[in-house]
């Protein structure tokens, strides 16, 4: 786990049985997490999203990330190998060897295929 040695889990927010296609505000646990953002005494300063596919759908990440940054909340995701660097997006360059595969994967997701189907799991 990329967060090992960086803190302790003090709260958990899991929306079991709720569709990830619903906006965070309409999922009870996700809404509770968002509501705590504004509370400086919330008792935590980072959020770990263990699996992006279970947390967000469509452009939800793009709409939520600015809130995390605004309230000084670190975001940790396995897709980036740990902590998200809020300003790294403007430095990213496509890797010519892997870009065609990534493009294909995104086209498959846009066509409605699951991550499991795309990866052959």
Domains and CATH numbers, the chain: 1-86 (3.40.50.1390), 88-121 (no CATH)
Answer for the pair 76, 48: CB distance below 8 angstroms, yes or no.
Answer: yes
Residue, of 16 and 50, whose pLDDT is higher: 16
Strand partners, 77: 82
CA distance 55 to 35: 16
CA distance 118 to 101: 11
What's the pLDDT tens digit per position in 4-40? 677 888 888 988 888 888 888 899 999 999 999 889 8
Answer for the pair 49, 86: CB distance below 8 angstroms, yes or no.
Answer: no
Residue 36's pLDDT is what? 93
pTM score, whole prediction? 0.64
Residue 32's pLDDT is what? 93
CA Rg value for the chain: 16
CA distance 98 to 96: 6
Tell me the average pLDDT of the chain: 83
Query: Residue 1: pLDDT above 50?
Result: no
Please state the length of the chain: 121
Which residue's structure tokens are 């009870």? 28
User: Strand 82-83 and strand 46-48: pairing?
Assistant: unpaired
Query: Residue 88: pLDDT above 80?
Result: no
């Amino acid at each position: 786990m990329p967060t090992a040695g960086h803190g302790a889990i003090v709260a958990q927010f899991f929306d079991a049985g709720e569709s990830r296609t619903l906006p965070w505000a309409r999922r009870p646990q996700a809404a509770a997490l968002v509501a705590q953002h504004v509370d400086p005494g919330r008792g935590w300063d980072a959020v770990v999203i263990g699996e992006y596919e279970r947390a967000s759908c469509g452009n939800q990440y793009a709409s939520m990330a600015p809130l995390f940054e605004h309230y000084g909340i670190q975001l940790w995701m396995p897709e980036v190998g740990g902590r998200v660097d809020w300003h790294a997006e403007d430095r990213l360059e496509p890797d010519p060897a892997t870009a065609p595969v990534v493009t294909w994967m995104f086209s498959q997701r846009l066509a409605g295929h699951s991550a499991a189907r795309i990866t052959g799991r």
